């Protein structure tokens, strides 16, 4: 499987992002952009693979990951969902 088409994440590394602690998240980077919108969601990157997952119901909005990597990302989000939502609320309440 090849990586995501660049048009789906055109400025992934140019926009300000907020990174969640990665100590328990393995090789996946979970983040959101500084100019995000509702509904609450996170972007997940592992190597060339990318997914966008809503926090409320863990619905996959976009996916360019292998099934096993997506499943692992969702499992990590289930475990850390409260933390992710708290980080989102803290970050955007200051804006």
What digits encode the pLDDT tens for the residues 34-91?
788 899 999 998 888 999 999 999 999 999 999 999 999 999 999 889 988 988 888 8
Q: Is residue 65 part of a domain?
A: yes
pLDDT band at 19; cut points 50, 70, 90: low
Residue-number span of the structural domain to which 10 is assigned:
6-93
18 or 21, greater pLDDT: 18
1 within a domain of the structure (yes/no): no
Domain contains 29: yes
Q: Rounded to two decimals, what is the model's pTM?
A: 0.75
| Contact indicator for 44, 29 with CB cutoff of 8 Å | yes
Q: What ranges in 1-95 are assigned the alpha helix state H? A: 67-93
Q: How many separate domains does the chain show?
A: 1
Cα–Cα distance, 44 to 73 (Å, whole number): 7
CB 44 within 8 A of CB 65: yes
Hey, which bits of 11-69 come out as E strands? Answer: 17-19, 29-33, 41-46, 49-54, 60-63
Q: Which of 17, 11, 52, 60 is nearest to 35 (CA)?
A: 17
Contact 20, 83 (CB under 8 A): yes
Question: What pLDDT score was predicted for residue 24?
Answer: 42
């Amino acid at each position: 499987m090849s990586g995501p088409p660049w048009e789906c994440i055109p400025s992934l590394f140019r926009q300000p992002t907020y990174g969640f602690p990665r100590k328990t998240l393995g090789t996946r980077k979970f983040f959101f952009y500084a100019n995000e919108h509702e509904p609450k969601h996170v972007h997940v990157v592992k190597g060339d693979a990318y997914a966008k997952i809503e926090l409320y119901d863990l619905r996959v909005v976009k996916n360019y990951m292998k099934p096993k990597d997506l499943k692992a990302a969702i499992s990590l989000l289930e475990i850390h969902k409260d933390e992710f939502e708290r980080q989102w609320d803290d970050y955007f309440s200051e804006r």
